[in-house]
Amino acid sequence: MDGNFQEEVLKLVKQIPKGKLMTYGEIAKELTGSVRAARAVGQAVAANPYPIVVPCHRVVRSDGDIGGYSSGVEKKIRLLSAEGVEIKGRKVLNFEQTLFLFDFKK
């Protein structure tokens, strides 16, 4: 396995600060330069070998939906709630505000 793509994805996800969120699309944009690889990003974190070490629960959809989670959406919601992220049903409240934009400037 190459795993290079997934490796890059995990690297970025690991930098998401607690209480903040990141979308699959933004990660894809940082990696491939386009939001179109968002789906591939999802596939990458889906195979996340290090739950907790890599806070993949802080990655959500671009439309504010919490998206999915290997261990179940409920688990994801609970983890986020514990970090101070308010969730209503499947949607994130104050989405735009809770979102973490890469600081990495380049």
Partner DNA sequence: CCCATGACTAATT
Partner DNA sequence: AAATTAGCCATGG
Contact flag: residue 68 with DNA (CB under 7 A): yes
Based on CB atoms, which residue is closest to DNA, 23 or 98? 23
Distance CA 93, CA 104 (A): 25
Q: Is 67 a binder of DNA (CB under 7 A)?
A: yes
Active site residue 56: yes
- Contact call for residue 62 and DNA (CB under 7 A): yes
Contacts of 78 (CB under 8 A, 6+ apart): none
Helix/strand/coil for 32: helix
Looking at 2-10, 79-87, 96-104, which segment touches DNA (CB under 7 A)?
2-10
Query: Could you tell me how many helices (H) and strands (E) the chain has, helices first?
Result: 5, 4
Per CB under 7 A, does 21 bind DNA?
no
Amino acid symbol at 61: R
Which of 70, 78, 81, 82 touches DNA by CB under 7 A?
70
